[in-house]
């Protein structure tokens, strides 16, 4: 049964990056929660971010907007941060492809590889 | 207009909800039940959901622009095609003037947004806006997905 | 009739679906989303769900008696009370003639069935049937459950 | 996300009874599936039945109708069969109470106790 739209955004600070584990349905309502979580991290001065997308069932253009703006902010820092993706499902890949974003985000099969890339 | 009186057409399922983003998950549930009843496969369901979600988001964000309002959804199947109408009483716009998004430039030149209409066009076979005094009506068709 | 024009009333959420038992789960999802939006607690949600499920089942089983048809649901909140209307175009009946069920006899004297109207009456504070040429309308109210 | 209404009805033949484990939402649509499963068991000559209700989220009067008719059939056999309940949740108990059926079905806290009662 549905209650309110729910997503899970789990954040873990690692040595060289911050790892977010995302799950659920990211539409224009819940994308806002993602935006807030990422913005807080940027405000705290962390610009190396990994998003583990394995649990993301659904993602609309509203979520892409958040990924794009966050990635831009990361990259424009002096030390050159980045937002990288891990464990992208075929569904999420389809949405990235549609937006022509597939080549613009570094994407890794597993969380470990993505974290290890920083 | 709706073809639900043709012999090959299904019943029309309707949902009327506040134009607020918190209701998008309910729209998704509703679509999911409708699609399952019409044996629409999961790939097509996902594509329909994406198009409708973008369309509903635009109604909330642009047509009503944060003002209170309602979204009326009607969907049905006719001759194997999935049809959906979204009806609102918000402001009108000219879809022809919406520029196609940049899908190839580097990240720093990409706009944040401007992808919704592109997604709708890619996911559906036909998209038709009708603006009239009784409301704005968006009719989208996905062909050959229902049994 | 609906009180959604009063200042204390919420928007009306509506769902129109085929009168088939397979859609009862969709009705439950819809109610669940509506109730959550109105901060109705889980106990009251369950009671509303039970009453509406029984009412919709009666429309499917008795009003349409297996014939194709539609159920139109409208729900809203006014002054802290939850309201729901079920509208159908099936046959009418006289609710006064429905006998109360036997709730105390031994099992072998119990009827199989005849509990639906009893559940609706127990779960809701007010139940009102109106039969008119435009359709049968059942209005149920559960008081003081919404914030 | 909802797809079609689903219930799970798992059946296990024990030495002295048949144990059904039920889960999901039993409305007038899915109660029919329960009716079929129970009827097949009665047809096979088994009249000692236990229903483990722990997973039942929801139950309408349509499901009670099935419980009543099945219990009647079990009890009218020569050797006196029965339909007994186990692990009834507060929600399901509320529905049984509403129908005045709380005292008519033997109900056990656990599956083991219900199975052991035969
Ligand atoms: N339903 C609508 N009502 C009014 N304006 C709309 C509607 N849908 C789209 N638009 C206009 O078209 C533009 C492009 O929409 P879209 O491609 O979905 O991207 P975005 O919503 O991210 O701007 C919007 O910025 C808005 O000006
Ligand atoms: N919506 C309806 N339309 C027509 N007849 C109805 C309707 N609801 C109830 N009835 C009549 O009232 C009787 C009692 O209904 P109910 O208490 O729900 O038990 P049951 O449906 O198990 O018979 C039904 O058998 C039917 O004759």
Q: What pLDDT score does B2 carry? A: 40
pLDDT at residue A18 above 70? yes
A1 vs D contacts (CB less than 8 Å): 2, 25, 57
| Residue A1 belongs to a domain | no
Residue D38 is part of a domain; what is its CATH number? 3.30.750.24
Q: What pLDDT score does D78 carry? A: 84
> Is B60 in contact with B70 (CB distance < 8 Å)?
no
pLDDT band at C91 (very low <50, low <70, confident <90, very high): very high
Q: How far is the CA of C62 from the centre of ligand 2 (A)?
A: 6
> Is A37 in contact with A9 (CB distance < 8 Å)?
yes
Predicted confidence (pLDDT) per residue in B65-95, tens digit: 989 999 999 999 999 999 999 999 999 999 9
Task: Please compute the mean of the pLDDT values over residues A8-16 and round it to a whole number.
Answer: 94
Domain hosting residue B135, numbered range: 2-142
| Residue C147 belongs to a domain | no
| Residue B147 belongs to a domain | no
Mutate to test the interface with C, among D62, D89, D90, D91 (most CBs of C within 10 A): D62
Ligand 2 atom index nearest CA of D65: 22
Q: Which ligand is nearest to the CA of B65?
A: 1
> Ligand 2 pocket, C66 CB below 6 A?
no
Q: What pLDDT score does B6 carry? A: 47
Chain D within 8 Å of C101 (Cβ-Cβ)?
Answer: yes
| Residue D26 belongs to a domain | yes
- Cα–chain center distance at B117: 10
Chain A within 8 Å of B33 (Cβ-Cβ)?
Answer: no
**Spatial CB neighbours of A80, under 8 Å, sequence gap ≥ 6:** none
List all chains that touch chain A, counting a touch as 3 or more CB pairs closer than 8 Å.
B, C, D
Q: What pLDDT score does A3 carry? A: 45
B41 by DSSP, 3-state: which?
coil
Domain hosting residue A27, numbered range: 7-116
The whole-chain average pLDDT of chain B stands at 92
CA angle D117, D55, D26 (to 5 degrees): 105
pLDDT at residue B140 above 90? yes
Q: What pLDDT score does D65 carry? A: 96
Instruction: Looking at the complex, report in whole angstroms how far the Cα of residue D58 sits from the nearest Cα belonging to chain C.
Output: 8
- Cα–chain center distance at B81: 15
Residue B10 is part of a domain; what is its CATH number? 3.30.565.10
Q: How far is the CA of B66 from the centre of ligand 2 (A)?
A: 44
Q: Which ligand is nearest to the CA of B114?
A: 1
CA angle A23, A24, A25 (to 5 degrees): 135
Question: How many domains does chain D contain in total?
Answer: 1
- Residue from the list B11, B15, B23 with its beta carbon closest to the beta carbon of C18: B11
Nearest to A8 by CA among A34, A32, A28: A34
A–D: how many Cβ contacts below 8 A? 7
Task: Please compute the mean of the pLDDT values over residues C54-73 and round it to a whole number.
Answer: 96
Predicted confidence (pLDDT) per residue in D60-73, tens digit: 999 999 999 999 99
Question: How many domains does chain C contain in total?
Answer: 1
Instruction: Looking at the complex, report in whole angstroms how far the Cα of residue A69 sits from the nearest Cα belonging to chain D.
Output: 29
The whole-chain average pLDDT of chain C stands at 92
DSSP H or E stretch at residue B122: helix B116-123
């Amino acid at each position: 049964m549905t209650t309110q739209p729910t997503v899970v955004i789990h954040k873990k600070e690692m040595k060289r990056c911050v790892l977010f584990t995302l799950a659920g349905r990211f539409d224009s309502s819940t994308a806002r929660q993602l935006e807030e979580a990422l913005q807080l991290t940027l405000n705290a001065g962390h610009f190396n971010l990994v998003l583990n997308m394995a649990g993301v069932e659904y993602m609309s253009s509203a979520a892409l907007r958040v990924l794009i703006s966050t990635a831009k902010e990361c990259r424009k820092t002096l030390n050159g941060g980045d937002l990288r993706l891990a464990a992208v499902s075929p569904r999420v890949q389809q949405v990235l492809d549609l937006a022509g974003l597939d080549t613009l985000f570094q994407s890794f099969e597993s969380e470990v590889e993505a974290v290890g890339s920083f | 207009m709706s073809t639900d009186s043709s012999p090959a057409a299904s019943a029309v399922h309707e949902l009327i909800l506040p134009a607020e983003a918190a209701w998008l998950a309910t729209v998704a549930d509703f679509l999911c039940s409708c699609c399952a009843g019409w044996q629409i496969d999961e790939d097509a369901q996902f594509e329909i959901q994406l198009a409708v979600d973008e369309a509903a988001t635009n109604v909330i964000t642009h047509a009503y622009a944060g003002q209170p309002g309602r979204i009326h959804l009607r969907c049905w199947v006719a001759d194997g095609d999935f049809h959906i109408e979204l009806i609102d009483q918000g402001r009108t716009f000219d879809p022809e003037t919406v520029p196609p998004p940049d899908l190839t430039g580097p990240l720093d030149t990409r706009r944040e947004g401007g992808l919704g209409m592109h997604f709708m066009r890619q996911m559906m076979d036909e998209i038709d806006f009708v603006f009239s005094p009784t409301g704005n009506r968006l009719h989208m068709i996905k062909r050959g997905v229902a049994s």
